[in-house]
């Protein structure tokens, strides 16, 4: 046989990416096969959230971290946020008054004298650690924590980070990306310091990052990414310009990021990762409240009471008699009138300071477009470490980052079928025992709902 014929008949070489993907699928499917072959009693045990072990793991990390964490020295406000937010999702708070005071005092020492928070005391203020510090203090709650935030100086820091393109720089001389837009706008919104100067041209920058796939990249010309896509969508929602995004194309990209494993991948053709349970899954409760905008872009009239297809979505048949069924109109929709795609929003309808609270009141015209039950299975069966903590995928190790965002994604899945975040989920919406239920979050900020309301009331009482 000629050499050319030998080459043509040979099996194609497996790429490194294909090999890794098949290995992950094999690990996950072995877990699922074991689960499906188990008795009902054993299945219930396997799906149980190891709440007490997670709380012990988190409290231990809050008190003292091993020396290996010195590599995260510039991320200490993030470690605070990942831990205290995870505890809050589990219905717990810092159980020691001195430890709570120490956390507040530490974050205060991370606050720069000219505004913003650094990764540690004396470090350069940075938008990412500012977001983490503010969310940590909101999650701790109480007057001492909330009043420790110097909003006037923080506003000046945000304004200094503003660049000509409309976006924000992460720090002095730092990168300009969608993550910077979200962290700046989220902080400004929740602290009631957002104004037209901060918002100016932010929408234009985010729109320039939507790719041909439909997702949002970190910067113009880059690849669509799950974290940046959530950040871009949430940013546009917070400045009331989300109708400018091509939402049907965004949805098309997003739904195909949930893989055969049940979890989400962050980018096309990448491995599944537990943290995207929130960074991708967290976009769906935002989209639920944008049904009127999606329908408008699709050319569907609201009087038709129809929307994009939900074929294959893991939902029961909801009828008018179902106590959790909701119609297609609400009081919130009566004062929300989005303009067409590409136009500037009319902010006179909803003030910048009220968008976070108003967003919760919007009617959820779109049912969940993710497979929430299988995502819960992936989190509970493939990411949960029985001894406490959660991880990226099988064979990986637990850490506080993945614990935070796996639990955040689990909360999203549990509450996404409820007609409002104030109503408890029905039992069928929760995989495993009902004791798995986590606290609901505000989908725009990823802080638990009760703490958001406390902060909103606190900061609404005073203007800068």
pLDDT in tens, 159-218: 999 999 999 999 999 999 999 999 999 999 999 999 999 999 999 999 999 999 999 999
Q: Which tens digit of pLDDT belongs to each residue from 52-62?
A: 999 999 999 99
Which string of b and e fits 136-151 if b means at least 16 CB within 10 Å? bbbbbbeeebbebbbb
Structure tokens at 22: 């098949």
* Residue entry with tokens 């606290």: 439
Active site residue 225: yes
Q: Give the span between the Cα atoms of 267 and 395, in whole angstroms.
A: 21
The answer to whether 273 is a known catalytic residue is: yes
pLDDT of residue 349: 67
- Backbone CA torsion sign across 369, 32, 316, 431: negative
Is the confidence at residue 441, as pLDDT, over 60?
yes
The pLDDT score that the predictor gives to residue 286 is 97
Contact criterion met (CB below 8 Å) for 404 and 82: yes
What the block records as the tokens of 304 is: 């038709």
CA–CA distance, 98 with 345 (Å, rounded to integer): 47
Tens-digit pLDDT profile for residues 213-238:
999 999 999 999 999 999 999 999 99
Report the 10 Å Cβ neighbour count for 196.
9
Query: Among the options 50, 54, 225, 456, which is catalytic?
Result: 225
Lowest mean pLDDT across 109-118, 130-139, 248-257, 317-326: 317-326
Assess whether 399 carries a catalytic annotation. Answer: yes
Active-site annotation holds for 393:
no
Please identify which of the residues 267, 391, 393, 456 carries the catalytic annotation. 267
Identify the pLDDT of residue 121: 96
**Domains in the chain with CATH codes:** 38-64+72-298+365-461 (1.50.10.20)
Quote the Cα angle for 231-284-299, to 5°: 100
pLDDT of residue 181: 98
- Give the pLDDT score at 334: 30
Catalytically annotated residue among 399, 401, 415, 451: 399
Between 341-345, 419-423, 429-433, the lowest mean confidence (pLDDT) is in 341-345
* % of residues, the chain, pLDDT over 70: 87
- The pLDDT confidence band at residue 422, using thresholds 50, 70 and 90, is confident
Which of 420-439 are b and which e, b meaning 16 or more Cβ less than 10 Å from the residue's Cβ?
A: ebeeebeeebbbbeeebbbb
User: Is pLDDT of 143 > 80?
Assistant: yes
Residue 456 has pLDDT above 50, yes or no: yes
Assign residue 305 a region: left if phi > 0, alpha if psi is -120 to 50, beta otherwise? left
User: What is the DSSP pairing of strand 441-442 with strand 447-448?
Assistant: antiparallel
Say whether 442 is catalytic.
no
Bin 336: left if φ > 0, else alpha if -120 < ψ < 50, else beta. beta
What mean pLDDT value characterizes the chain? 89
Return the ∠ at Cα 189 (arms to 183 and 192), rounded to 5°.
Answer: 135
Read off the pLDDT band of 419 (50, 70, 90).
confident
Q: Could you tell me what percent of the chain has a pLDDT over 90? A: 79
Q: Mean pLDDT throughout 96-117?
A: 96
Q: Which of the four pLDDT bands, split at 50, 70 and 90, describes residue 8? A: low
Q: Is the pLDDT higher at 272 or at 300?
A: 272
Check if 275 is active-site: yes
Q: Is 126 a catalytic residue?
A: no
What is the three-class DSSP state of 75?
Answer: helix
Direct distance between the N- and C-terminal alpha carbons of the chain, in angstroms, rounded to an integer: 83
Task: Label residue 141 by pLDDT band (50, 70, 90).
Answer: very high
Considering the entire predicted model, what is its pTM? Answer: 0.89
In this prediction, residue 5 has a pLDDT band, given cuts at 50, 70 and 90, of: low
Tens of pLDDT, residue by residue over 423-440, are 889 899 999 999 999 999
258: which DSSP letter? B
Q: Which of 80, 110, 209, 275 is catalytic?
A: 275
* 397: annotated active-site residue: no
Mean pLDDT of all residues in 96-107: 95
Residues 6+ apart with CB under 8 A from 251: 214, 287, 294, 308, 369
Q: What is the pLDDT of residue 275?
A: 98
Task: Give the residue with greater pLDDT, 358 vs 333.
Answer: 358
């Amino acid at each position: 046989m000629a050499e050319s014929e030998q080459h043509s008949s040979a099996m194609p070489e497996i790429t490194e990416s294909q090999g890794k993907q098949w290995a992950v699928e094999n690990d996950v499917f072995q877990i699922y096969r074991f689960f499906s072959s188990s008795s009902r009693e054993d299945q219930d045990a396997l799906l149980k959230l190891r709440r007490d072990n997670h709380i012990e793991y988190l409290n231990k990390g809050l008190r003292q971290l091993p020396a290996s964490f010195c590599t995260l020295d510039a991320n200490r406000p993030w470690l605070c946020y990942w831990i205290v937010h995870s505890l809050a999702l589990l219905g717990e708070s810092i159980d020691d008054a001195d430890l709570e005071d120490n956390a507040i005092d530490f974050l205060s020492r991370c606050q720069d004298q000219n505004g913003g928070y650094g990764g540690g005391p004396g470090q350069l203020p940075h938008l990412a650690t500012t977001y983490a510090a503010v969310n940590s203090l909101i999650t701790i709650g109480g007057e001492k924590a909330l009043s420790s935030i110097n909003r006037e100086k923080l506003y000046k820091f945000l304004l200094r980070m503003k660049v000509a393109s409309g976006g924000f720089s992460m720090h002095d001389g730092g990168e300009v990306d969608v993550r910077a837009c979200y962290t700046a706008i989220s902080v400004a919104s929740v602290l009631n310091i957002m104004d037209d100067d901060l918002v100016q041209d932010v929408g234009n920058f985010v729109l320039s990052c939507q790719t041909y796939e439909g997702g949002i990249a970190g910067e113009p010309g880059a690849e669509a990414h799950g974290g940046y896509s959530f950040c871009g969508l949430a940013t546009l929602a917070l400045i009331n310009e989300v109708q400018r995004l091509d939402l049907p194309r965004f949805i098309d990209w997003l739904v195909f990021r949930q893989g055969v494993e049940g979890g989400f991948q962050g980018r096309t053709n990448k491995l599944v990762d537990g943290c995207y349970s929130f960074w991708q899954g967290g976009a769906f409760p935002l989209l639920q409240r944008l049904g009127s905008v999606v329908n408008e872009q699709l050319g569907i009239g609201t009087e038709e009471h129809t929307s994009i297809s939900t074929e294959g979505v893991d939902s029961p048949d909801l009828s008018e008699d179902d106590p959790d069924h909701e119609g297609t109109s609400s009081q919130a929709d009566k004062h929300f009138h989005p303009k067409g795609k590409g136009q500037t929003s009319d902010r006179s309808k909803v003030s910048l300071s009220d968008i976070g609270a108003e967003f919760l009141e919007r009617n959820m015209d779109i049912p969940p477009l993710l497979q929430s039950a299988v995502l819960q299975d992936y989190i509970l069966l493939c990411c949960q470490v029985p001894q406490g903590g959660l991880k990226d995928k099988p064979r990986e190790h637990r850490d506080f980052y993945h614990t935070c965002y796996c639990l955040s994604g689990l909360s999203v899945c549990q509450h996404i079928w409820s007609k409002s975040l104030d109503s408890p989920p029905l039992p069928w919406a929760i995989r495993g025992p009902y004791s798995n239920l986590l606290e609901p979050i505000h989908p725009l900020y990823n802080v638990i709902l009760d703490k958001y309301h406390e902060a909103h009331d606190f900061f609404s009482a005073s203007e800068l």
